[in-house]
Structure 1
């Protein structure tokens, strides 16, 4: 098994299987369902088929209903996942991860502040 930070942001799939993973912090994180996928990503294009996917360490799956969020009046965008908010460091990172700018949920600043911080998502790290 290996940690593959060079693959961060890619969505990957073992050929012939339905499961799709997001490579994040060098590990593969299962995307639990199509609804969660659709709340985060632009579309289903660009999923990399890789027969060596099982050689990448497995991380915590994305939580059901993970979302992109932004507080009103603040430029920072976060991935809200597994009870933490993770700042998405730049537009280049949004693009690398194929996150959809149009799917960002705009919420009250107090809601963002009430969520525990997790590690920043940055590309390149």
Structure 2
């Protein structure tokens, strides 16, 4: 199942502790608190509790782990590293819709040019 209205949301089933980011119509398990803080910041954890049946029926993608940081090269674009590819987050509105934290972006300079590009996050 994929429901476009959930895109960019952080959700948790009502009978499980796993928290997910909905990215590309798939649930992406946020592996641990350190990963959460690296993407979404250290403030209050904001997620929507939904019926477990909804979580169980959603398509699942690869877990989001410590290999999934937010980076910035020499220019303005911000990227999410996702499965060894940089994915351009296409606007500040999109960045905010996904709940990412501006304070956690790592500046990597021209190293970003060496990372293959994946699909944009729109």
More helix by share: 2
Q: Tell me, what secondary structure is at the counterpart of 1:53? A: helix
Residues 1:63 and 1:81: Cα distance change in structure 2 (over 3 Å): farther
The aligned residue for residue 8 of structure 2 is 9
Deviations 1:59-98 (A, max 9, x none): 12113342110013x1100001221110000011111000
Deviations 1:88-125 (A, max 9, x none): 0001111100000111111122x111111111111xxx
8 Å CA contact 1:39–1:65 kept in 2: the answer is: no
User: RMSD of the TM alignment (CA)?
Assistant: 1.3
Superposed displacement of residue 21, structure 1: 0.5
Superposed displacement of residue 7, structure 1: 1.1
Deviations 1:21-47 (A, max 9, x none): 100111101111111111000334320
Superposed displacement of residue 54, structure 1: 1.6
Mark the runs of 5 or more structure 2 residues left unpaired by the alignment.
none
Q: List structure 1 runs of 4+ shifted beyond 2 angstroms.
A: 42-46
Q: How does 1:112-123 map to 2 (within 5 A)?
A: 112-122=112-122
Of the structure 1 ranges 113-122 and 38-47, higher mean CA displacement relative to structure 2 is found in 38-47
8 Å CA contact 1:63–1:81 kept in 2: the answer is: no
Q: How does 1:1-125 map to 2 (within 5 A)?
A: 2-42=1-41, 43-51=43-51, 52-72=54-74, 74-109=75-110, 111-122=111-122
Q: Using structure 2 for the length normalisation, give the TM-score.
A: 0.90
